[in-house]
């Protein structure tokens, strides 16, 4: 590598680091300015004393956890079965799991609201619809993680071994396959969790309490609390990604949807 090349490498790196960190540093500094003249954690205190924040935040956690559970229950058996027996469905299943990239989230929620707000499908007010919607949004990541996990184990042999010991399908799935791909599932789960925690569109248009709509509302009302909430949200994203990296499977990334 020539010297001038190395200088350019550093130049791009430093530019990237600045672009990445400046907004975050600014938000953090901003969040400390709630008390005039001194830096303080007042904005955080006020935020945690705000019942609307607690409500939105805990609901988002609840939606995230439910999304992960529903995702595991639907996608693990499917991916397993496609690998073991139903190879002829592979193309169709993979095509469907990628559809959320093609249908923008705002169009997706448009479809949900227009479809499910008239009889005979009047379920637009049900929290189940929100969780189902989140499950759809997280499907590309969840399904791909699970499928990658299944690829790394010998599904057929494990299944035969379990069957010859007398295990039924439920036992095979949840006590043999699931523990073997738990790392892959966890990385998909944390990514889904990060997506749900930051997701605005679904909760906003299905009128359910969640963190991002609350933050959007707060931005219009206050100056310093939204900064504190943004810092928390960023820390949460970082934590989720850190956990995924810890598992050594940092290759997953969000491609479209929640922006």
Partner 1 sequence: MTTLNSVKRDAPKARPAPPKFSWVWLGVTPFFLFAFIFLIYPSSNLAVRSFQDTKTHAFTLQNFGNLIQNPNLINAYWISIKISLITSLGGGIFGFFLAYSAIRGGLPPFMRTSLMTFCGVASNFAGVPLAFAFIALLSPSGVLTGWLRAMGYNPYFHGFQLYTFWGLSMVYMYFQFPLMVLVISPAIDGLRREWREAAENLGSTTFQYWRYVALPILLPSILGTMILLFGNSFGAFATAQALTGGSINLVTIMVGAQLRGDVLGDAGLGYALALGMVVVMAVAITGYTLLQRKSERWLR
For partner 1, the binding residues in 182-241 under the rule CB under 8 A are: 191, 194-195, 198-201, 205, 212-213, 215-216, 219-220, 223, 226-227, 229-230, 233-234, 237-238, 240-241
Q: Which two tokens stand for residue 149?
A: 């996990």
Q: What is the CA radius of gyration of the chain?
A: 22
Number of residues forming the site for partner 1 (CB under 8 A): 96
75 binds partner 1 (CB under 8 A): yes
Window 116-175: residues binding partner 1 (CB under 8 A):
116, 129, 132-133, 135-136
* Cα distance between residue 146 and residue 76, in whole Å: 7
59 binds partner 1 (CB under 8 A): no
User: Between residues 100 and 149, which has the closer beta carbon with respect to partner 1?
Assistant: 100
User: Between residues 18 and 165, which has the closer beta carbon with respect to partner 1?
Assistant: 18
100 binds partner 1 (CB under 8 A): yes
How many angstroms from the chain centroid is the CA of residue 236? 11
User: Between residues 58 and 250, which has the closer beta carbon with respect to partner 1?
Assistant: 250
Of residues 58, 91, 115, 152, which one binds partner 1 by CB under 8 A?
A: 115
* Cα distance between residue 14 and residue 201, in whole Å: 34
Of residues 39, 102, 156, 161, which one binds partner 1 by CB under 8 A?
A: 102
Q: Shortest distance, CB of residue 149 to partner 1, whole angstroms?
A: 17
Window 8-27: residues binding partner 1 (CB under 8 A):
8-10, 12-13, 15-17, 19-20, 22-27
φ and ψ at residue 126, rounded to 5 degrees: -80, 135
Q: Shortest distance, CB of residue 193 to partner 1, whole angstroms?
A: 11
Of residues 62, 113, 183, 243, which one binds partner 1 by CB under 8 A?
A: 113
CA dist list (Å): 139 to 57, 148, 165, 195: 22, 14, 33, 11
Residues 134 and 67: beta-carbon distance below 8 Å: yes
Of residues 108, 142, 146, 149, which one binds partner 1 by CB under 8 A?
A: 108
> Minimal CA–CA distance to 109: which of 196, 243, 223, 203?
203
User: Between residues 115 and 175, which has the closer beta carbon with respect to partner 1?
Assistant: 115
* Cα distance between residue 135 and residue 67, in whole Å: 5
* Cβ-based neighbour number of residue 45 at 10 Å: 13
Could you please report the per-residue DSSP string of 74-140?
Answer: HHHHHHHHHHHT-GGGHHHHHHHHHHHHHS-HHHHHHHHHHHHTSTT---TT-HHHHHHHHHHHHHH
Of residues 35, 85, 151, 182, which one binds partner 1 by CB under 8 A?
A: 85
* Cα distance between residue 225 and residue 203, in whole Å: 21
Q: Shortest distance, CB of residue 74 to partner 1, whole angstroms?
A: 6
Of residues 54, 89, 152, 247, which one binds partner 1 by CB under 8 A?
A: 89
């Amino acid at each position: 590598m020539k010297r001038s090349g190395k200088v350019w490498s550093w130049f791009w790196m430093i530019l990237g680091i600045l672009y990445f960190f400046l907004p975050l540093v600014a938000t953090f500094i901003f969040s400390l300015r709630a008390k005039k003249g001194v830096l303080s954690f007042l904005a955080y205190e006020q935020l945690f004393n705000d019942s609307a924040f607690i409500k939105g935040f805990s609901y988002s956690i609840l939606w995230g956890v439910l999304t992960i559970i529903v995702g595991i229950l639907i996608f693990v058996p499917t991916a397993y079965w496609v690998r073991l027996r139903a190879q002829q469905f592979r193309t169709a299943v993979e095509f469907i799991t990628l559809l959320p990239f093609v249908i923008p989230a705002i169009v997706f929620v448009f479809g949900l609201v227009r479809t499910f707000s008239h009889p005979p499908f009047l379920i637009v007010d049900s929290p189940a619809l929100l969780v189902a919607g989140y499950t759809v949004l997280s499907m590309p990541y969840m399904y791909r993680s699970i499928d990658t996990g299944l690829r790394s184990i010998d599904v057929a042999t494990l299944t035969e071994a379990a069957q010859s010991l007398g295990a039924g399908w439920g036992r095979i799935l949840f006590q043999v396959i699931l523990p073997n791909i738990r790392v892959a599932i966890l990385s998909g789960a944390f990514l889904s969790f990060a997506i749900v925690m930051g997701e605005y569109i679904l909760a906003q248009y299905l009128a359910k309490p969640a963190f991002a709509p609350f933050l959007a509302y707060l931005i219009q009302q206050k100056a310093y609390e939204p900064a504190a909430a943004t810092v928390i949200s960023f820390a949460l994203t970082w934590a989720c990604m850190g956990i995924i990296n810890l598992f050594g499977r940092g290759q997953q990334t969000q491609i479209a949807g929640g922006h």
